[in-house]
Amino acid sequence: MSTLQRIEIAGGVRHTRADKALASAFPGHSRVAFQRAFDAGLVALRGRPIKRSATVRAGDVLEFSLPEVVPAQLRAVDLPLDVLHEDKWLLAIDKPAGMVVHPGAGTREDTLVHALLAHCAGSLSGVGGVARPGIVHRLDRETSGAIIVAKTDEVHRGLARQFAARTVVKEYLALVAGVPRLMSGSVRKAIGRNLRQRHKMAVVDEAGAGRAAWTDWAVVERFGDLAALVACTLHTGRTHQVRVHLASMGHPLLGDAAYGWKANARMKRQPGRVMLHAGRLSLVHPGTGKTLDLRAPLPADFRAQIKALRES
């Protein structure tokens, strides 16, 4: 555990969240590190641990220490990886559908993290903690496509700042049921946890439990009135964002039964997964300062689904 530190909230601040106050005062530390500190009860106000959402005001003194990053105890497993880019600072992978990014309840030793531990031989950022070494962002199990991984803590923080500032270009391709009435549009609807089914997300009131979410979309190809190929640009990074936003338009993703898709007998080929692919990531490389534009080609099952739709 790091040395105990103190910060006094500056005068003129009426009220702000405790996590925002710490992140603003110590930009050299990652948001993940502060989140772990709050979760471990290591942030206190007037001697009592507080939650990250606690309100603090001018004159309040926060005391905190950061938990040490413990080396991962996970076993390295030599799994095949489709590398889009690799250098001494970071690694970009074209993640296949079906691969879980990091270990969790019910997962086996076949996650991306297990594969990275073998591929990188210990050179991964520890900022993400024991279960998520190097992981800066994530993709759902069934989503294929580009994902970037940090090899050093400094690069991890640099990438995390870009994701937080919404400067990373994130483009997805989705196959949806039905065809949108317009050729393009924008969905700006807050997303939060579904109160009835906690494993799902939902469009909610931003003033309540929701967080702002913004997706631009455009129809790339129509398949009669059966389905459409839609390109999505994400300006935020909410859980299940594309799935929730397109379903809210009345066009759930093919294969996404959780958000309203139903099998259609008119399709010659039924989707074997949620048809979503992270096709492009573009950002500033923290190590070189140059733009890194990553492209992940459509996987075989996605191409086969498009072919079958053209023939339907």
Q: CB within 8 A of 189, min separation 6: which ones? A: 203, 213, 245, 248
Rg value, the chain, Cα: 21
- For 17, phi then psi, to 5°, come to -70, 145
Q: What are phi and psi for residue 308, nearest 5 degrees? A: -65, -35
Judged by DSSP in three states, 17 sits in strand
What are the residues facing 14 on neighbouring strands?
Answer: none
Please give the sequence-ordered ranges of beta strands (E in DSSP) within the chain, or none if there are none: 5-8, 16-17, 43-45, 48-49, 55-56, 61-64, 83-86, 90-95, 144-150, 169-177, 184-188, 191-193, 201-203, 214-223, 227-234, 276-284, 291-295
Q: Which residues have C-beta within 8 Å of that of residue 170, sequence separation ≥ 6?
A: 233, 234, 237, 278, 280, 281
Angstrom distance (rounded) from CA 254 to CA 262: 8
Active site residue 82: no
Q: Give the integer Cα–Cα distance in Å for 108 and 179.
A: 38
Amino acid sitting at position 27: P
The residue from 140, 153, 205, 216 that is catalytic is 140
User: What amino acid positions are annotated as catalytic residues?
Assistant: 140
